[in-house]
Structure formats: structure tokens, C-alpha cells
Chain A
Amino acid sequence: MAQTQEKFLQKILTLDRRWIFLMVLVIALVFYKITIPMPVKVTRQTQSFYDAIEGLKAGEIVHITADYTLDVIPELYPMHKALVRRLMEKDVKIIVSSLWVDGGILADRVFNETAAELKKEGIIKTYGVDYVNLGYKSGGDVVMTHLGTSFAETYPADARGTPVLQIPLMKRVENFKDIALMVNFSVGNPGIRQWLQQVQRRYNVKMLCGATGIMSPDLYSFYQSGQIKGFLAGLVGAAEYEKLLERPGKATTGMTVQSFEHLFVVLLIIVANVAFFLKKIYRGER
């Protein structure tokens, strides 16, 4: 009897991982369609992020750094878009730059989609006056520190090739002293850690962040020490922000899949651990 049970436990512990992948996919496919509203509790860091944005006045300039790639669109794109829309509604001016190749392209997509949405609501936003995309620049830390000296020297032209000194919004910006707030959407290095090291402390810039889930645990200590004024932690952070804005979007709908996937992972951990210890016990008996 004990031998049969041990064999069964061994089967669980050596289960072909492809079954787990299949289950994860099935859960995602099912719960993407069957949306069960999940309670979203707003955390302190998201509230701080929201408060910092709401504290901005019309006409002030925000520098967004879209340092992320296409593969993390599901996590960072919803928060990026929600933020740009909110800033445009508040008539805050936006400058976007990127240290990752895809970032500039994604920033353009966010601007185009948001401007088109607002146009339908009768709010007209003009490129060069209300928002500018400086595009991608290679160089990482060097670009960051040089922005502290001069935006125009670092980015002589925007993503469309227009000289920045011909852009009305850029005429108002010399360096970080003209920036009211900086928001970094970060996926890795160069990202939020480098912006904190090279810019936040050096130029005393008020900084917020939207980061992928993997990066988020690192950010709590920087939030606690006050170097980041608030941050959105992955998809759940984006959902919390959407809740505060009372505008549920893709992040909120993704919470059902997220919750059931997490339940599945927790179940797997419990089953695997129980099987592991039971197997040990059976072996001990023999």
C-alpha cells in the first residue's frame, strides 16, 4: 500500500512540466473571457503616485522616460497610457524620452491613441505644444547626466527629426530645473535605479516610477527612503491606478486571470511540498 502511495507521490513530484504550462494557458484562456470582478485595494505607494500627479498644475512640465520594451506591454503600457491621459486632461505638458529602443515607438503609440481619444471628447492636444517625443538615445547613464546640463544638447532633434529648438514646448526646457516631475517606466538597466543614482539625488528631481513586477520589490526601500515619491508595481499597480482614476482598463480586466493564476501557483507549491514531505515520511516508515 505504502509503495503504491509512494509511487503516486513520485509521479506528482516528477510530473512533466508541460502539463503545468498547459494548465497555466488554459486558466489564462478561460478567465480572460469570464471576467469576475476582483477587489483591488489601493496600496500606499500607488496612492502617493496618484497624489503627486493630482498635485500638478496646468502648464507644468512632466518628463516621462519610457524605458521599457515590447515584451512588457501588458504590464507597463496600461499605466503609461492612463498617466498620459490624466496629464493631458490636466493640461500638463509632457516630454518623453527613452533609453530603450522600443520605448520611443511605444511612446508615440500612447500619444497617438490618447490624443485621438481626447479629440473625440473635444479636447485637442497638439504635438510640440502639449507633448513631445524625443525618442530613443543610446548611452544610458551618460544621457541621464547630460540631461541635467541641457536637454537640447542631449537631444538636438526629437524622434521625428525636428530640431528641438524649433519646438515650442522644448523652448521652455533647459534642464531638470524646468521639470516639475519625472516619471520613469522601467524594465531593467538602464532604468529607475540608474535614474535615481544619476539624476534624482544629483539634481533633486521629484521622481515617480512604474515598474514591472520583477523590479518592484527593489523599489520599496527607495520609496521608504523618500527617493521615489510613489510607484506602480506591475499590473496590480496599474489596476490600482485605474481604480483611483475611476477608469477601469486593461489592467483591471487582467486581475481575474492574475488572481486565478496565482491561486494555481499557490496550489502547486502546496501540493509539491506536501508530496515531498509525505514521500519522506513513507520512506522513514520503511
Chain B
Amino acid sequence: MVNIIGGWLIAFFTLAIMSFLYKDSPIYKLAEHIYVGVSAGCLFVLTVVQTLKPNFWDFVAPLFTSAHSGQWIRLGAGIFGVMFLLRLNKKTFWVSNFPLAIVIGAFAALRMTGLANSDLVGQLHGTINCLDYKGLLLFEWDKPSMVNNLLIVGGVICVLSYFFFSLEHRGVLNVAGKTGIYFLMITFGSSYGYTVMARTAVLIGRVGDLYTYNTSHYAYATIICAIIIIAFIHLPDMIKKKPQKT
């Protein structure tokens, strides 16, 4: 029984959300609001149960009981958390700036070192390694080869030239910059192709579910929900169009 109800809910909400592609309607709004509410509720519960409880409460609670020893340092995190919440009040708003400053500072440092390590040094290393032609053939379609590696190095230089604004784009810099645009266009095209693939994959998943719940076991949930939603969307228009008696 639970499975059947679940099937009906999946079919209804899938079609309700999809109905937006045809027209905005109260049924779409209802599905959207329920989705947002459920997501927020799920996030809240899981954050409390799987982060706040094991990483904070289970260490701090023993401090107030004589049975076990807790960790005082974790209480500091709790105090910062409470200071954050003071942001909700206009009078105590300023208190939240202190933990916010710590979070921003710590995150900026963490991200900066990570970015420098991976996106800068790691990628630079990878590009320079392309110039090592030992054991490579002149050209291969889908493997590292001299031509492919040269394209990578050339592509990096050209794209960097395009974003180099300290000199006027003339002569060699202009040619390199313009070539860089073509490399960028190819990249954007590839991204678009992958995006289409990703969106289609999501649609395939939904279509699969709609077929699954359109069987006699689920009392043809998909087709019935589709009829209800279509009727609901069109009903107001049909009522409005009724000729008025004079």
C-alpha cells in the first residue's frame, strides 16, 4: 500500500512540475512549494541528526553530567553558532559579524591554498608535462601525441593571451588572442553538448518512472494524474470562455 501511495505521489509531482513547461498554474505552485518545504525539512533534520548531534551535542552534553568527560573546546563552536543566530535580531545583529569574519577568513585561506595547489600548480604542471615528447607518436586521435600535446600548450597560451589586458592586443598578441576565442568557442560548444546530454538523462529518469507507475499494480497512476492535471490547468480557461447570458 505504501508503495502504491509513493508511486502516485511520484507520478503526480513529476507531472505537476513538468506542467510548468506548458503553463504556470496553481498545481505547479503547489508542487514547487511542497518540494521546497520538504527539501528544507530534510536538510534541517539531517543536519541536526548527522552533524549537530554527533559532532557537537555528544561531546558537549557530558560536560553537564558527572558520568563522562566532554570536550570544552566544542562548546566554543556552539557559542559561535548562537552568535550567528543573533543576526535575526536588529539590536544584536552586530554580534554575528565576529563568527562571520572567522568563517570568511578561514574559508578564504582554505580555498586559496587549495586553488593554488590544484588549479594553478597542478594544471601548470600538467601543461608543462605536455612538452615532454618521450615515447609519443606524431599523431593519435584519442591518446596523447605530439600534435595533441602541442594543441594543448598552444590552446592554453592563446586563451591566456585573450585574457591578457596589460598590453594592447596588436600583432602576435592579437593573433593569439583571436585564436584563443576559437578554443573558447569549442569549449563552450562541448559544454553545451554535455548539458543537453545531462538534461536528457534527467528526462529519461522521469519517463522511466512515469512508465513504471502506469501499470495496473499502481492503478495507472501516471495517466490518471495526467488527466487530473490537464483538467485542472484548462478548467479555469473553460469556465471563463462560457458565453454570458444577457
Structural contact, B196 and A138, CB atoms closer than 8 A:
no
Structural contact, A234 and B201, CB atoms closer than 8 A:
yes
Our pick among A43, A136, A224, A254 for the contact of B50 (Cβ within 8 Å) is: A136
Binding site for A on B (CB under 8 A): 18, 21-22, 39, 42-43, 46-47, 49-51, 53-55, 58-59, 106-107, 110-111, 114-115, 117-119, 121-123, 125-127, 129-130, 142-143, 152, 187, 190-191, 193-198, 200-208, 211
Kindly count the residue-residue contacts between A and B in the assembled complex, taking CB atoms under 8 Å apart.
163
Contacts of A139 in B (CB 8 A): 51
C-alpha spacing A28/B203, complex, angstroms = 7
Contacts of A29 in B (CB 8 A): 207
Structural contact, A224 and B197, CB atoms closer than 8 A:
no
Report the minimum CB–CB distance from B156 to chain A (whole Å).
9
Contacts of B49 in A (CB 8 A): 161
Contacts of B107 in A (CB 8 A): 141
Report the minimum CB–CB distance from A26 to chain B (whole Å).
10
Q: Which of B53, B125, B203 has the most CB of A within 10 A?
A: B203
Structural contact, B123 and A32, CB atoms closer than 8 A:
no
Q: Which of B53, B54, B130, B143 has the most CB of A within 10 A?
A: B54
Structural contact, A217 and B191, CB atoms closer than 8 A:
yes
Residue A265 is within 8 A (CB to CB) of chain B in the complex: yes
Contacts of A261 in B (CB 8 A): 196, 200, 203
Binding site for B on A (CB under 8 A): 18, 21, 24-25, 28-29, 32-33, 43-44, 71-75, 101-102, 104, 135-139, 141-142, 145, 154-157, 159, 161, 193-194, 196-198, 200-202, 212-214, 216-217, 221-222, 224-227, 233-236, 250, 254, 257-258, 261-262, 265
Report the minimum CB–CB distance from A252 to chain B (whole Å).
12
Contacts of B51 in A (CB 8 A): 136-139
Contacts of B211 in A (CB 8 A): 32-33
Contacts of A221 in B (CB 8 A): 123, 126
Structural contact, B117 and A257, CB atoms closer than 8 A:
no
Our pick among B21, B54, B187 for the contact of A157 (Cβ within 8 Å) is: B54
Contacts of A233 in B (CB 8 A): 194
Contacts of B50 in A (CB 8 A): 104, 135-137, 157, 159
Structural contact, B208 and A32, CB atoms closer than 8 A:
yes
Contacts of B205 in A (CB 8 A): 73-75
C-alpha spacing A102/B191, complex, angstroms = 26
24 contacts between A and B (CB under 8 A): A28-B204, A28-B207, A32-B211, A43-B142, A44-B142, A44-B143, A72-B198, A73-B205, A75-B205, A104-B50, A136-B47, A137-B51, A145-B110, A196-B122, A197-B115, A197-B118, A201-B117, A213-B201, A216-B194, A224-B126, A224-B130, A225-B127, A226-B126, A235-B198
* A141 and B114 contact, Cβ closer than 8 Å, known pairs A157-B54, A217-B194, A225-B123: yes
Structural contact, B21 and A21, CB atoms closer than 8 A:
yes
Contacts of A75 in B (CB 8 A): 198, 201-202, 205
Contacts of A201 in B (CB 8 A): 114, 117-118, 121-122
Structural contact, A71 and B202, CB atoms closer than 8 A:
yes
Contacts of A196 in B (CB 8 A): 118, 122
Report the minimum CB–CB distance from B160 to chain A (whole Å).
13
Report the minimum CB–CB distance from B159 to chain A (whole Å).
11
Contacts of A142 in B (CB 8 A): 106, 110
Shortest Cβ distance from A236 into B: residue: B197
Shortest Cβ distance from B142 into A: residue: A44
Contacts of B127 in A (CB 8 A): 225
Contacts of B54 in A (CB 8 A): 155-157, 161
Shortest Cβ distance from B58 into A: residue: A156
Structural contact, A217 and B187, CB atoms closer than 8 A:
yes
Structural contact, A254 and B58, CB atoms closer than 8 A:
no
Shortest Cβ distance from A18 into B: residue: B22
Contacts of B114 in A (CB 8 A): 141, 194, 197-198, 201-202
